[in-house]
Amino acid sequence: MASPKRRGRLSVRLLLWFLILSLLPLGAVAWFLIGIAHESLSNEILSTQQALAAGFADTVGKYVATFKNVLIETAGIEEFAGMNSVKQQQFLNRIMQVHLAILELSVVSPAGLELMQTGRFLKPNPEMRRFEGEDFFNTALKRGLFMGSLERFQGLYPTMTIAVPITDPKASEPVGVLMGKVSLNGLTQMLGMEFPSSGRSSAAVLASDGFLIAHSNPKEAFRPEAKMNEELVKIITTQTEEKGGGPLLLSDGNRLFGAFAYVPNKMLDWAVFIQQPMDYAERTSAAMLKRTASIVLVVAICVIPLAWLVAGNITQPIRDLRDAADRIAKGQFDEARDLLPLDVSNEVGQLAERFDAMREALKEKTEELVGAKEKLEEFTHFLERRVEARTRELRAAQDLLIHKERLAAIGQMANVVGHEIRNPLAVIQNSSYFIKTKLGTAIDPKIAKHIKIIESEIQQASSIINEILTYSRTRDLVPEKKDLKAFIEEVVDGLVATNRIPPHVNLIKRVEVDATVNIDVQEMVQALRNIINNAVEVMPTSGSLGIQSYAQGEWAVIEIADSGPGIPQDVLDKIFVPFYSTKARGTGLGLSVVKKVMDRHKGDVKVDSALGKGTVFRLYLPIHTEPGPGQAPPPSPGAATAR
Cβ count near 476 (within 10 Å): 7
Backbone region of residue 399 per phi and psi (left: phi > 0; alpha: psi in -120 to 50; beta: other values): alpha
Q: Is the pLDDT of residue 2 over 50?
A: no
Residues 6+ apart with CB under 8 A from 251: 231
Report percent pLDDT > 90 for the chain.
13
Q: Is the pLDDT of residue 181 over 90?
A: yes
Band (615; pLDDT cuts 50, 70, 90): very high
192-197 mean pLDDT: 86
Q: Is the pLDDT of residue 560 over 90?
A: yes
93-118 mean pLDDT: 90
Q: Is the pLDDT of residue 582 over 70?
A: no
Measured CA distances, 593 to 470, 526, 614 (Å): 8, 8, 22
Q: Averaging pLDDT over each range in 79-88, 329-338, 402-411, 471-480, which range is the top one? A: 79-88
Measured CA distances, 470 to 44, 402, 463, 576, 593 (Å): 89, 20, 10, 15, 8
User: Positive or negative CA dihedral for 271, 272, 277, 281?
Assistant: negative
Residues 381-421 have pLDDT tens digits of 888 888 888 888 888 788 767 766 666 666 666 666 666 67
Q: Which residue has the higher pLDDT, 320 or 435?
A: 435
- pLDDT for residue 197: 79
Report percent pLDDT > 70 for the chain.
73
Nearest residue to 162 (alpha-carbon basis) of 212, 83, 105? 105
- pLDDT for residue 4: 39
- pLDDT for residue 3: 39
Residues 6+ apart with CB under 8 A from 302: none
- pLDDT for residue 75: 87
Question: Among 221-225, 402-406, 522-526, where is mean pLDDT lowest?
Answer: 402-406
Whole-angstrom Cα Rg for the chain: 49
Residues 530-551 have pLDDT tens digits of 888 888 888 988 899 999 999 8
Contact 195, 216 (CB under 8 A): yes
- pLDDT for residue 161: 93
- pLDDT for residue 640: 37
Q: Is the pTM higher than 0.85?
A: no
Which string of DSSP letters, residue by residue, matches 251-319?
TTS-EEEEEEEE-S-TT--EEEEEEEEHHHHHHHHHHHHHHHHHHHHHHHHHTHHHHHHHHHHHHHHHH
**Phi/psi at 197 (5° precision):** -65, -20
Q: Is the pLDDT of residue 314 over 90?
A: no
Q: Which residue has the higher pLDDT, 449 or 77?
A: 77
Half-sphere exposure of 333 (CA within 13 A, CB side): 13
Q: Is the pLDDT of residue 466 over 70?
A: no
- pLDDT for residue 395: 85
Q: Which residue has the higher pLDDT, 255 or 334?
A: 255
Q: Is the pLDDT of residue 198 over 60?
A: yes
- pLDDT for residue 628: 56
Measured CA distances, 417 to 420, 423, 426, 462, 588 (Å): 5, 9, 13, 10, 16
DSSP secondary structure letter of residue 211: B
117-132 mean pLDDT: 87
Per DSSP bridges, beta strands 270-277 and 243-249 are: unpaired
- pLDDT for residue 26: 61
d(CA 455, CA 236): 98
- pLDDT for residue 42: 76
- pLDDT for residue 619: 93
| Sheet of 114-119, strands arranged across | 114-119, 102-108, 176-183, 157-166, 146-153
Question: Among 42-51, 88-97, 272-281, 583-592, where is mean pLDDT lowest?
Answer: 583-592
Contact 190, 59 (CB under 8 A): yes
Nearest residue to 277 (alpha-carbon basis) of 252, 241, 299? 252
- pLDDT for residue 591: 79
Start-to-end CA distance of the chain, whole Å, equals 82
Averaged confidence pLDDT in the chain: 79
- pLDDT for residue 642: 36
Q: Give the angle subtended at the CA of 238 by the CAs of 264 and 246, to the nearest 5°.
A: 80
Q: Is the pLDDT of residue 520 over 80?
A: yes
